[in-house]
Amino acid sequence: MIQLRGITKIYATGKVTTPALLGVDLDMARGDFAAIMGPSGSGKSTVMHIMGLLDRPTDGSYLLEGQEVTGLSDDGLAALRNQRMGFVFQSFHLLPTATALKNVLLPFVYSPRYPADAEERGRRALTAVGLEHRLHHRPGELSGGECQRVAVARALVTDPEVIFADEPTGNLDRRSTYEVMAILQRLNRDEGKTVVLVTHDNHVGEMCRRVVRLVYGRIESDTVAPQPLDAIALLAALPPREEDRR
């Protein structure tokens, strides 16, 4: 589905040039569940932004479903992001003044046509992340884990082929981490969605079928785990929450 060939990214700020990616060849197949890992500054976010069409490589080729996208216009990239990709960020990036449902509906605002059943689809997406009882809460009224699940709902509401998540569990506690990972695993397993996530957390890496390690802008290793950890099982093994015990 995604083919990166010889991707380089060099940041030039004034006289200093920072090479972030030094020739990355990377394929993502439909249905992959991949973690991109590596030390800080190794280029994980950069490569994810390039795959997510949020950034352009300095050089190299990017085939999306066999189509070269490096030459597309900004508007062309925006349309591809809108229709084929979903994004989850470490700090959620929800609109603070909008309700959970309105946040989830945001991608539809930029669709070629605002679907008639948008609201229904938004509810379904929030139900899929277990937040059907939080439709009209604003981000300030939700916990961090709930916010990130709203963000996941926003990423999947348009039914994209691939979900990119940059450190989606970076700000979450263990339980919320399992909850978010369980949702992503289910989307991957039951709906065949491709999931690419960046993480520092080895435990999160163990829940991914594939782990790509970056070091200094190069791919150091690309391994497949035959038996990734099941987030639902991990969640069930946690001691019950205070409020559940009562």
Residue 13 interface partner, choices ligand ATP, another protein, Mg ion, none, CB cut-off 5-8 Å depending on type: ligand ATP
Pick from 2, 4, 7, 20 the residue near ligand ATP by CB under 6 A. 20
With both helix axes pointing from N to C terminus, report the angle between 100-109 and 118-128 in degrees, rounded to the nearest 10.
130
Pick from 32, 46, 162, 234 the residue near ligand ATP by CB under 6 A. 46
Quick one: CA torsion of 104, 208, 167, 108, rounded to 10 degrees?
-20
Task: Give the pairing type, strands 33-37 and 194-198.
Answer: parallel
Under the rule (CB under 5 A), what is the footprint of Mg ion? 45
CB of 102 to another protein, least distance (A): 9
Both tokens of 246, joined, read 């009562």
Residue with tokens 């938004």: 122
| Binding status of residue 238 toward another protein by CB under 8 A | no
Residues 6+ apart with CB under 8 A from 73: none
- The DSSP H or E segment spanning 230 is none
Pick from 4, 24, 37, 44 the residue near ligand ATP by CB under 6 A. 44
Which stretch in 18-26, 90-98, 181-189, 207-215 sits in contact with another protein by CB under 8 A? 90-98
Which stretch in 21-29, 83-91, 200-208, 235-243 sits in contact with another protein by CB under 8 A? 83-91
Please give the span between the terminal C-alpha atoms of the chain, in angstroms, as a whole number: 48
CB of 178 to another protein, least distance (A): 25
51 neighbors 1 (Cβ within 8 angstroms): no
- Give the residue with the Cβ less far from another protein, 45 or 185: 45
**Residues in touch with ligand ATP (CB under 6 A):** 11, 13, 18, 20, 38, 40-46
